[in-house]
Structure 1
Amino acid sequence: MSDPNDRAFGRMDGRVALVTGASSGIGEAIVRSFLDAGARVHAVARRGMMVEDSVGLEAIEAGRVVVHALDVGDKEAMLSLGAELERSDPIDTLVCAAGVNVTARRMAELTPESWEQLVDTNLHGVFFSIRATLGQIRERAGDVVVISSVTATWPDHAGGGYGATKSGVLGLARGLSIDEHMNGVRVTSILPGIVNTPILDKRPIPPSDELRAWCLQPEDVATATLVAVTMPARANVAEMTLVATRLQALGKTQLANPELPDALRASAS
């Protein structure tokens, strides 16, 4: 078991993490970042084969990565996984990075089915993940990181359904911290702006490749996550907002596809 008072900044040697949404985007980048930092990672994704393609067979055969092909919105599957880990390989770090959005996202377009899809993954999935592993994390004075969104704090183009779920997980994380900080559990919510991940393809008008190059990249969020979980045990990064420097600012994220500044357009041409 890793001693929370004897952890080196930027290193996760001896630590065991569970990362959801591990097959692509932010979750995939966090898995690779944790591996590079020395952790063993349990990677949860509906498309388990994509995790294997990302991390490589060597890491899996060495036991550095254990792939769990399941849906975070499946309550029984997540609780079963938590019980299995408690018995065989308890974790000290949980990262909830699984998330979805839908293309028809305006309130008049949302259907009961698309609403349930958003809630099942973005909100229920976070709760089930925490509920399944909290005892292990508490015992090890570990970390919980929730990937929320800037849309949790003010409405934007992402849609009311997505915003409601991301606001929900922000509230859940704050409540978890109130309940568990005295036990040494650190809870971090990361609120990214526009990130170049496959979720952008779900937008009614996906951004151009030129624009995506200036967005946050998944590796940026992974770096922020690694910082949060390797801070000295006395310090908790409770919430962190990340935005794309040349495209957004705090409180200025409402445009779905921000215009590139003239200087950036000129340099790209």
Structure 2
Amino acid sequence: MKLDSNVRRLGDMAGRTALVTGASSGIGAATVLRFIEAGARVHAVARRLEALEALDPVAVADGRLVPHALDVSDGAAVQALLDELADSDPLDTLVLAAGQNVNPRRFGDLTFEAFDHLLKVNLSGVFYFLRGALPQLRDTLGDVVIISSVAALWPDHSGAAYQASKAGVIGLARGAGWDEHGAGVRITSILPGVVNTPILDKRPVPPPQELRELFIQPEDVAEASLAAVTIPGRTTVSEITLTATRLQSIGNTQQATPVIPEQLKVG
């Protein structure tokens, strides 16, 4: 059933059905919880079923949160899930937040296997879900949010392979959006700067907690995603860039811990 997208109310997802990847932690988990709060039924996808079930046990029990254990790099498994949902619970919203990084990540240390793995998860996984869900999204005049990164456009310490995978995501989103806008499918790329998620723990030198308080928080990206999928259908938010107010990126985390203003510690 098609949504009357032009009368959508900003922040209201009542009656909508979403699927979120990378849903067990970080941006994906925050998006699942925010969408449920806004009234959506959410299919949450990640590799760890127990982590998905722990996000909101009440929502799992009453059917507002439906967990699915799945590896996004497994194209056949992705298509099987999407085919099942097309029959049982058609999607009108897709948020593709699954992503990984590797160590070591400096270009001279990258292995062929590590590079191929990152492209499979960070780029091919996005393609599998976006292409596989396309018939549903056309039918429902659906919305897609793809989480890329500022690192796709500006070099930083995330590494060349990660940056390449996220640049590919932007190109995929732009191309798919160009092809599908006439069908009423809206595709948004969100390019966050440094976000306080568990992926930071895999950095060669994880940043200290005092510094992480200055980062973008996962809930901030979730709010941007909510805005993108609930703005009236006559408008497409093609890309959103989010940067930490006090930081653009982080480099040497061995430097002295910054002084955090009191007004930035809350909210």
Task: Mark yes or no: TM-score above 0.5.
Answer: yes
Task: Give per-residue Cα distances to partners, 1:136-195, cap 9 Å, x unaligned.
Answer: 011111101100000111221110000000000000000011001111111100000010
Which residue does 1:207 correspond to in 2? 207
Residue 3 of structure 1: how far off its partner (Å): 2.6
1:40-119 equivalences under 5 Å are 40-56=41-57, 58-119=58-119
Give the equivalent residue in structure 2 for 1:20.
Answer: 21
For structure 2, the residue ranges without an aligned partner over 5 or more in a row are none
How do 1:213-232 residues align onto structure 2 when only pairs under 5 Å count? 213-232=213-232
The superposition leaves residues 14-45 of structure 1 with CA deviations (integer Å, 9 ceiling, x where unpaired) of: 10001000000000000000000000001000
Matched to 1:214, the amino acid is: L
CA distance in 1, matches of 2:255, 2:55: 32
Q: Deviation of residue 135 (structure 1)?
A: 0.7
Q: CA deviation at 1:256?
A: 5.8
SS at match of 1:244: coil
Aligned ranges for residues 1-269 of structure 1 at < 5 Å?
Answer: 1=1, 2-56=3-57, 58-248=58-248, 253=249, 255=251, 257=253, 263-264=259-260
Mapped partners of 1:91, 1:99: distance in 2: 21
CA distance in structure 2 between the partners assigned to 1:55 and 1:85 by the alignment: 21
The answer as to whether partners of 1:12 and 1:34 remain within 8 angstroms in 2 is yes
Runs of 4+ in 1 over 6 A off after TM superposition: 258-261, 265-268
C-alpha distance in structure 1 between counterparts of 2:72 and 2:252, whole Å: 27
Q: 1:87 to 1:262 in 2, by over 3 A?
A: closer
Equivalent residues of 2:103, 2:202 under 8 A apart:
yes
The alignment's C-alpha RMSD in Å is 1.9
Q: How many residues align?
A: 263
In 2, Cα distance between the equivalents of 1:23 and 1:184? 30
Q: Are the aligned partners of 1:246 and 1:261 in contact in 2 as well (CA < 8 Å)?
A: no
The superposition leaves residues 102-125 of structure 1 with CA deviations (integer Å, 9 ceiling, x where unpaired) of: 120011111122112211110010
For structure 1, list consecutive stretches of 5 or more residues without a partner in the other structure. none
User: What is the TM-score with the length of structure 1 in the denominator?
Assistant: 0.93
Q: In structure 2, do the counterparts of structure 1 residues 115 and 15 end up closer, same or farther at CA, with 3 Å as the change threshold? A: same
Alpha-carbon deviations, 1:78-123, whole Å to 9, x = none?
A: 0101110111100001100000001200111111221122111100
Decide whether aligned partners of structure 1 residues 266 and 69 sit closer, same or farther in structure 2, where only a CA change above 3 A counts: closer
Distance 1:258 1:126, change over 3 A: farther
Percent sequence identity is 56
